[in-house]
Amino acid sequence: MKCKKCGAKASVNMRQHKLALCKEHYLEWIPEQTERFIKKYEMFTHHDKILVAVSGGKDSLGLWDILVRLGYQADGLYLGLGIDEGINYSHESQRLAEKFANNHNLKLHVVDIEQEYGQPIPVLADKSLRGYGKPCAVCGLAKRHEMNRIARDLGYDVLATGHNLDDEAAVLFGNTLSWASDFLLRQGPVLPAADGLARKVKPLCRFYEREMTAYCLARGIEYIYEECPFAEGSQSIYYKELLNKLETDRPGAKLTFYLRFLEARKSGELFIENNVEQAHLHPCSTCGQPTSAPDMCSFCRMIEKVNAVTES
């Protein structure tokens, strides 16, 4: 297979685009496309201060690399989750995030959940009895809460995450299976800023997970390859595997699934009401971030519960 641009041997083939590229042209194509998505969805400009949520994985490090290559003002945020499970998972992912920042002379904020809240994620999950024996629900909750808090506290204009199209398609698939209309209404490349909520964007939302892996390999970005030890058997991975089987037989199926959803949502074909997500939000009585819960937000209730268990 040959590169469509120069005729050299291709390294990456994107069947959904009918496009094969050599390594050099692929490394040009990815930032070009990212810039196109940033503009198309009006995510941010070169005047904005961007905080990139960095996990040490391929997507977030790839995103940070691309934004810096495009000349954006992008700092990183690493959240120390305290996940070890015998493979030093958090320690290793932090090391790789710091290594990338040091190698590129970039600013990385490091916030440790245990230092902030007294317990690492697995213990918070255990003590709060959330997540049916797995810490992933608590991890997601804590990450969303802390990313929002830190982006606002440090005065960033926008929080960028490395969600790729497979992430988005898996979420969409899960929420469609259960017709979770409130979540479907909120899914998209941009979540606008609101009272207490930082603006959130997903510049990689139209790249397949495979393409981000290829980008990191081609760029020589060292990322944590090991999966989070708690992710094994997770629902999202199961959905991704199903969607990849579909994609193998029908190239472009994942992209079409996501893009048609965005079009339908935008045009109002799917839902009568828009913006219902903001209708019932009010400030949490403890941290002040918006919540739909009657008093404290889910995160603060979890912390309160953990503290009560710890003290007793």
Partner 1 sequence: MSVKLILRDKEYEVKSGMTLLDSLKKINIVPESVISTREGEMILDDEILKDGDVVKLIAVISGGSDESRKL
Residue 174 touching partner 1 (CB under 8 A) = yes
Query: In whole angstroms, how close is the CB of 81 to partner 1 at the nearest point?
Result: 11
Q: Is 256 in the site for partner 1 (CB under 8 A)?
A: no
Rule CB under 8 A: say whether 31 interacts with partner 1: no
**In the bound complex, what is the minimum distance in angstroms from residue 23's beta carbon to partner 1?**
7
- 213 touching partner 1, by CB under 8 A: yes
Residue 228 is given by DSSP the state P
Whole-angstrom distance, CA of residue 260 vs CA of residue 232: 30
290 forms part of the interface with partner 1 (CB under 8 A): no
The helix-helix angle for 209-219 and 165-177 (nearest 10°) equals: 160
Phi and psi at residue 294, to the nearest 5°: -65, -30
In the complex, least distance from residue 37 CB atom to partner 1, rounded to whole angstroms? 18
Member of 88, 103, 248, 275 binding partner 1 (CB under 8 A): 248
> Shortest distance, CB of residue 94 to partner 1, whole angstroms?
17
Q: Of 127 and 254, which CB lies nearer to partner 1 in the complex structure? A: 254
Are 145 and 299 a contacting pair, CB within 8 Å? yes
Residue 218 in the binding site for partner 1 (CB under 8 A): yes
CB atoms within 10 A of CB 23: 16
Q: Are 276 and 182 in contact (CB under 8 A)?
A: yes
- Residue 259 three-state SS: helix
Among 214, 284, 297, 302, binds partner 1 (CB under 8 A): 214
- The Cα 142–Cα 55 span in angstroms is 14
Alpha helices in the chain (DSSP H): 23-40, 58-69, 89-103, 113-117, 121-128, 136-153, 165-177, 181-186, 209-219, 235-249, 253-267, 298-311
In DSSP terms, 14 is beta-bridged to 19
Q: Tell which one of 31, 131, 252, 288 touches partner 1 (CB under 8 A).
A: 131
The answer to whether residue 198 forms part of the interface with partner 1 (CB under 8 A) is: no
Contact 72, 111 (CB under 8 A): no
Nearest-approach distance from CB 105 to partner 1, in angstroms: 27
Considering beta carbons, is residue 172 or 303 the nearer one to partner 1? 172
Considering the complex, what minimum distance in angstroms separates the CB of residue 139 from partner 1?
Answer: 6
Relative to beta strand 108-112, strand 158-160 is unpaired
The 134-173 site mask, x for binding partner 1 (CB under 8 A), equals: x-xx-xxx--x------------------x--xx--xx--
Say how far residue 141 (Cα) sits from the centre of its chain.
13
Least distance from partner 1 to the Cβ atom of residue 107, Å: 25
Is-contact 60 50, C-beta < 8 A? no
Does residue 181 touch partner 1 according to CB under 8 A?
Answer: no
Q: Is position 217 an interface residue for partner 1 (rule: CB under 8 A)? A: yes
Give the span between the Cα atoms of 208 and 254, in whole angstroms.
9
Measured from the CB of residue 312, what is the shortest distance to partner 1 in angstroms?
A: 27
Nearest distance from residue 269's CB to partner 1, in Å?
A: 22
Check residue 197 and report its DSSP letter.
Answer: B
Residues in touch with partner 1 (CB under 8 A): 1, 10-13, 20, 23, 57-59, 131, 134, 136-137, 139-141, 144, 163, 166-167, 170-171, 174-175, 178, 180, 183, 186-187, 191, 200, 208-210, 212-214, 217-218, 225, 227-228, 230-231, 233-237, 239-241, 244-245, 247-248
